[in-house]
Chain A
Amino acid sequence: MEKLFNQMENNLKENIIDLKDSNVTDLKKKLINEFQKFESSLNGEASSDYHQIRKDAIAVFEDLGFPVKRMEEWKYTNLKPLTDHDFHYTFENSSELKSSDIEKYLFAKENINLLVFVNGIYSSELSSVISNCENIFIGNIQEGKKQYTEIFEKHFSKYADFKNRSLVALNTAFSGDGAFIYVKKNTELKEPVHILHISDSEKENVMSQPRNLFIIEEGSKAEIAEDYYSKGDNYSFSNMVTEIFCGKNSMTGHYKIQNEDSKSYHVGMTQVHQEQDSNYSNTTISWGGSIIRNDLNALFEEQNTESHFFGLYLLSGKQHVDNHTLADHKMPNCFSNELYKGVIGGQATGVFNGKIMVREDAQKTNAYQSNGNILLSDDATIYSKPQLEIFADDVKCSHGATTGQLNENEMFYIKSRGIGDNDAKKLLLKAFVSDVLDSIRIEEFRNLIEEKLEVKLSEQLK
């Protein structure tokens, strides 16, 4: 088996090398240049172990470049519109955002930890943290790694592998800041964390590379919402990576909401490492942005882990959203469940590529996956690819995908009660996505999402 994987890996590398020469974009050159500037700004840190990881990572990016459509994993997603732009890379906070500017993004004013990053850079003025204590650290990586150097080094870049992933490599190379959440053993984080990542393109095209690290130790609990917004008339590009460590018997609720505008590009990797008896739930909602690519990978390294992936993409215009997920069962008795739903209108495109890997030792695996799509227009497109690879013989697995239009009989039934065409559609679409929204365990956050859904559907059906 090992041999087979190695062979696959080598094939992949060869493929990538073939493609490399045609893939030298100006943006790539610029970023490699920027890295040298970045390095010289680091002073003492440039000789640290941490910085060695960055240097390895930039070498990988230099080697691989931006992904192109000829790669199987990028078959349906073309980043060319993105790489055609020039982005300003910033290491300092030059934004003039005020508290009053971000008020509309908040779902709660009390009992909440708020971390705000503008163009990838932490804003202590806009953030407010209430839960920090001996057992809890909520803040930015810059500060977190000073206070918890050992913990940081133990976990940072240990899960999100960048060897074959050029954009994870790019993020790792530039990793400067992002959210750092550390919940020590047997601690319940009672107040949720709201992480606001704002791309402020008011002055120019901006690029940011948020790097988040969440460490939820044995027996601990946390609810974390990552919320992405953009502001301004220029283009923005976020290349984010989140690494999550779920310790034994821990419970983590994690939400990622993409609210960016039509001039925003977003590429993200969320890598989850789960230890025995841990429970991780992820809800990813994409309804803003121009081109979005999300990768969500959970690795079940120990027995009896449980994970839930929920997703919703609500697309219009020319939006393109690509969700790649992987539930990688390495050990026996683990459970994974996935439910992704899409509502696609206009000329928008959705991609769902969900993979369940059940490796040889992963007996008694329960793994389920389902992807449902409703197309609202003739020009809407979905590429749905549920994948199941099973190398163990005593498992329960299922997967399926459906794509259709709104049910005509249901529509007529509702309209025959006096409800107009748009409201009937809205009623059915809300019902269609309700089980995804129900997975959000922070009540105020779910309420805000429901309000937004109402607005988004009204715009969609206009």
Chain B
Amino acid sequence: MGPNGSGKSTLASVLTGREGYDVTEGEVIYDGKDLLELNPEERAREGIFLAFQYPIEIPGVSNVNFLKTAINEIRKSKGEEPMSSVDFLKMMKEKAKLVEIDPAMLSRYVNVGFSGGEKKRNEIFQLAMLEPKLSILDETDSGLDIDALKIVANGVNQLKSENNAFIVITHYQRLLNYIVPDFVHVISDGKIVKSGGKELALELEENGYEFINEIKENAEA
């Protein structure tokens, strides 16, 4: 969590390798690998997934074709055989149920003509299909009504396991009623300024980010 402009989305971008960011200092070690050395597709193949704050529309590319290509590329990188069409379709049906997405939407072009809520649900659907180890949800709750929020949260909760982790970027405590975090970190000016348990989110909801200024002032003094 953190106020606007504190660097939450920048963190997501840097972790997933978006162009336009220079990392001037520090390193990111993930599963023993230097993440910053890898390009975006290699990071994805290592199990990193970003649910976009603003999912991109890709006219002409169907969801089915897109995901099939992605899954098979990831399998190829692990030296596995491509998934059979039967298995793929079965998996699609299953995961579509998880985020209550209409299977008819999956034959449509990626995010084209989708409402804001549908786009976010489609992000979680892709997450479910690709089964990443580290998922970063960048303001997945923004623009969702309460029903859609529950569906998305429910999807995430079902996907959560001992073998994966989620970084959930949000402004609101509301989402955290449904996705209960193990840790809450507060970012400001690109740094973690406070960490705590789930109760920290409640505290922020109550008092806002005022305390950050206090921390800054103390630091300056």
**Which A residues are closer than 8 A to B by beta carbons?**
408-410, 412-421, 423-424, 427-428, 430-432, 434-435
Q: Which of B28-83 contact A (CB under 8 A)?
A: 39-41, 43-45, 49-50, 52, 55-56, 58-61, 65-67, 69-71, 73-74, 77
Report yes or no: B61 in contact with A418, Cβ–Cβ below 8 A: no
B173 at the interface (CB under 8 A from A): no
> Which residues in B have their C-beta under 8 angstroms from that of A410?
56, 58
| Contact A417-B56, Cβ < 8 Å, known A412-B40, A423-B73, A428-B61 | no
Report yes or no: B44 in contact with A415, Cβ–Cβ below 8 A: yes
> With A and B bound together, what is the CA distance between A435 and B77 in angstroms?
32
**Looking across the interface, which residue of chain B has its beta carbon closest to that of A433?**
B60
B16 at the interface (CB under 8 A from A): yes
B191 at the interface (CB under 8 A from A): no
Out of A412, A414, A417, A420, name the residue touching B130 (CB < 8 Å): A417
B182 at the interface (CB under 8 A from A): no
| Contact A416-B61, Cβ < 8 Å, known A408-B19, A409-B56, A423-B69 | no
> With A and B bound together, what is the CA distance between A434 and B60 in angstroms?
7
**Looking across the interface, which residue of chain B has its beta carbon closest to that of A426?**
B69
Mostly, the A contact residues are helix
Out of B17, B18, B59, B126, name the residue touching A417 (CB < 8 Å): B126
Out of A413, A419, A430, A431, name the residue touching B55 (CB < 8 Å): A413
Report yes or no: A431 in contact with B19, Cβ–Cβ below 8 A: no
Mostly, the B contact residues are helix
> Which residues in B have their C-beta under 8 angstroms from that of A414?
58, 66, 70
Out of A408, A409, A421, A427, name the residue touching B41 (CB < 8 Å): A421
> Which residues in A have their C-beta under 8 angstroms from that of B69?
419, 423, 427
Q: How far is the CB of B36 from chain A (nearest CB, A)?
A: 15
Q: How far is the CB of B73 from chain A (nearest CB, A)?
A: 5
Report yes or no: B44 in contact with A416, Cβ–Cβ below 8 A: yes
With contacts A417-B70, A427-B69, A430-B60 known, what are 16 further pairs, Cβ within 8 A? Answer: A410-B56, A410-B58, A412-B56, A414-B66, A414-B70, A415-B44, A416-B40, A417-B126, A420-B73, A423-B69, A427-B61, A428-B60, A431-B59, A431-B109, A432-B60, A435-B60
**Looking across the interface, which residue of chain A has its beta carbon closest to that of B109?**
A431
> With A and B bound together, what is the CA distance between A431 and B18 in angstroms?
23
> With A and B bound together, what is the CA distance between A423 and B74 in angstroms?
12
> Which residues in B have their C-beta under 8 angstroms from that of A416?
16-18, 40-41, 43-44, 49-50
> Which residues in B have their C-beta under 8 angstroms from that of A435?
60
**Looking across the interface, which residue of chain A has its beta carbon closest to that of B77?**
A418
> Which residues in A have their C-beta under 8 angstroms from that of B71?
418
Out of A409, A418, A430, name the residue touching B73 (CB < 8 Å): A418
> With A and B bound together, what is the CA distance between A419 and B58 in angstroms?
14
**Looking across the interface, which residue of chain A has its beta carbon closest to that of B61?**
A431
> Which residues in A have their C-beta under 8 angstroms from that of B60?
428, 430-432, 434-435
**Looking across the interface, which residue of chain B has its beta carbon closest to that of A420?**
B41
Out of A409, A412, A417, name the residue touching B66 (CB < 8 Å): A417
> Which residues in B have their C-beta under 8 angstroms from that of A428?
58, 60-61
**Looking across the interface, which residue of chain A has its beta carbon closest to that of B13?**
A412
Q: How far is the CB of A339 from chain B (nearest CB, A)?
A: 13
| Contact A413-B56, Cβ < 8 Å, known A408-B19, A418-B70, A418-B73 | yes
Report yes or no: B58 in contact with A418, Cβ–Cβ below 8 A: no
> Which residues in A have their C-beta under 8 angstroms from that of B39?
415, 421
